[in-house]
Amino acid sequence: MSVFRPELHITAESGILEAAAGVLRHASPDADDDTWHVFYQYKPSPDEPSRWGHAASESNPFDWVECNDAVAPAAGETGVRAGSVVAARGGVDLYFTSVTESDTSVQIAHADDLEELCDDVNEDYSVSAAFSRRGNVVSQGAGFTRFRSPCVVPDWLDHSDRDRGQEGWLMLAVTGPADSPEIVVLSSGDGTSWKAHGALSFEGDPGFTPAEECIVAPRIFRLRDEVDGQIYDVLLITLERNGRDETVYVTGTLRGSHFEVRTPAQPVDRGHDFSRPRTTNYTNGSSEIPTRFDRAYIFGSMRSSGRGADLTTERNWEAEGWAGALSLPRRVTLQDGRLFQTPAPGLPDAVSEARSAKLWTGICEIPVGSSVTAEILDASGEPTAVVTHRGDTIEVDRLDGAPAVSDLHDDDEDAITIIVDGSTLEVFAGGGAVTMSSRVWPEGGCSGIRVRSADDALIHGEWRRGD
């Protein structure tokens, strides 16, 4: 029996999951709700090159089934890395990074029918025959080289009036040397012929110095701010600092290759392990399309280590033969320039149906100086991690001497949601103002979540699933 493998989170069946690659929600005629398709970069074994795996879940993003792989290295390639997934030409396009000994480029693979991608799954999950490669779409141009890590989203029909809708495609891609990368903005009418508009630049302080940072995995999505009603661009940028990933968001407006900053960089997640998030695109007819600017969904990798990290050091590798996990999907909204993240709908029911996942939600009143503490218990009833809300801060302590701590705003709700699923721990606090993701390894698995209040703190209501 697997103790550390989560049930509701995506992991590779075997091998090392390195990062999310792309996410697509599809309006399936055979399901009551959308089918979620998540593609991810992984290695079948430590000595094999990276490729794309694929998992799907009908009606909710928690009941995953493994599908055939989507893309594997071809002749001359040393690996295929993450990119983006969009609905195009009646099917699906995968924009992936092709890696050779001397170069990187952006290529496309296409499948005509999403419905066929999880049919007749091979025992070894070998590459699906439904995908065909269409070759390079961006390799060099306008003075830029080594294109990689593409993010592709629909472009605007009229950039001065976003309520008119979308037409064509927009791409963000990383270019240049690995130790001094640069983000480039491109556009295309058909998704295959791309024009580079220039390197991404900022008007206003983005909260970091682009020329001094190693920037990877850029993502962009759009949200309508609930306060002023305007549609803004949200940049997700991962900064490689001292061998670790720090992922931040910046809000504003992208015009050409120029980004007008509204909100400078803020952490997407304040836990130990979250990086390189991927956004979700949609097929026509998806239930989310009419209101897709009111909310978005993101997945992140539950890791903080940078490129070249040895994920086989995770306890689950030796014990169970897999490494790496993606976060639960987060429902993201924008309020006065701040991102709020909450679990995707349906999570309590999914936890109730799982064998060992645990969920606790508390509606609290926690004056500064008081506390509500939740202990994550292992199979013998001993704490393996402790979550403490002190009114103005929240802390996740894995009892290793390096707790993760986040400030809370005075106007944030004193509400806490904790999900433990195998070796994953995710905390949502302040009505979604703060999220904290950490990997934990309870001996024998998690047996429960023990909660207590201290001093003047009150728990007005609480809900449990899985206990």
CB 55 within 8 A of CB 12: no
Say yes or no to pLDDT of 352 above 90: yes
Which pLDDT score is estimated for 67? 92
Which pLDDT band, with edges at 50, 70 and 90, does 409 fall under? confident
Say yes or no to pLDDT of 125 above 70: no
Task: Give just the sign of the alpha carbon dihedral 192, 282, 292, 352.
Answer: negative
Say yes or no to pLDDT of 287 above 70: no
CB 24 within 8 A of CB 87: yes
Say yes or no to pLDDT of 336 above 80: yes
Which pLDDT score is estimated for 1? 65
Question: What is the mean predicted confidence (pLDDT) over 237-249?
Answer: 93
Which pLDDT score is estimated for 369? 93
Tokens for 442, please give them: 């309870």
Cβ-count burial 252-263 (b if 16+ within 10 Å, e if not) = bbbeebebebbb
Identify the DSSP state of 73.
-
Question: What is the mean predicted confidence (pLDDT) over 184-190?
Answer: 95
- H or E element: which one contains 315? helix 315-320
Which pLDDT score is estimated for 348? 96
Q: 213 by DSSP, 3-state: which? A: coil
Residue 37 and residue 58: Cα distance in Å, rounded? 9
Which pLDDT score is estimated for 27? 77
Q: In this predicted model, what pLDDT tens digit does every residue of 192-221 receive, in sequence order?
A: 999 999 999 999 999 999 989 999 999 999
Say yes or no to pLDDT of 136 above 70: yes
Which pLDDT score is estimated for 290? 60
Identify the DSSP state of 89.
T
What's the mean per-residue pLDDT of the chain?
93
DSSP code string of 405-416: EEE--TTS--EE
CB 70 within 8 A of CB 39: yes
Residue 214 and residue 218: Cα distance in Å, rounded? 11
CB 149 within 8 A of CB 96: no
Look-up: residue for tokens 């670790």?
244
- What pairing do the DSSP bridges indicate for beta strands 393-397 and 383-389? antiparallel
SS percent in the chain: helix, strand, coil, step 5:
5, 55, 40
Residue 251 and residue 266: Cα distance in Å, rounded? 9
CB 463 within 8 A of CB 360: yes
pTM: 0.94
Report which of 309, 339, 333 is spatially closest to residue 243, judged by C-alpha positions: 309
Query: What is the percentage of the chain residues whose pLDDT exceeds 90?
Result: 81
Report which of 308, 267, 315 is spatially closest to residue 2, judged by C-alpha positions: 315
Q: Phi, psi at residue 120, to the nearest 5°? A: 50, 55
Which pLDDT band, with edges at 50, 70 and 90, does 391 fall under? very high
Among 4-8, 99-103, 159-163, 350-354, the least confident range: 159-163
Task: Give just the sign of the alpha carbon dihedral 169, 278, 212, 101.
Answer: negative
Which pLDDT score is estimated for 28? 65
Which pLDDT band, with edges at 50, 70 and 90, does 33 fall under? confident
Which pLDDT band, with edges at 50, 70 and 90, does 61 fall under? very high
Say yes or no to pLDDT of 162 above 90: no
- H or E element: which one contains 342? strand 338-343
Question: What is the mean predicted confidence (pLDDT) over 307-328?
Answer: 93
Which pLDDT score is estimated for 31? 58
Identify the DSSP state of 427.
E
DSSP code string of 235-259: EEEEEEETTEEEEEEEEEEEETTEE
Residue 322 Cα distances to 84, 96, 196, 243, 301, angstroms: 24, 23, 39, 22, 14
Q: In this predicted model, what pLDDT tens digit does every residue of 64-118 receive, in sequence order?
A: 999 999 999 998 999 999 999 999 988 899 999 999 999 999 999 999 988 788 8
Calculated CA dihedral for residues 346, 165, 38, 177, nearest 10 degrees:
-130
Calculated CA dihedral for residues 283, 284, 288, 289, nearest 10 degrees:
120
Residue 101 and residue 149: Cα distance in Å, rounded? 17
Question: What is the mean predicted confidence (pLDDT) over 243-247?
Answer: 91
Question: What is the mean predicted confidence (pLDDT) over 249-259?
Answer: 97
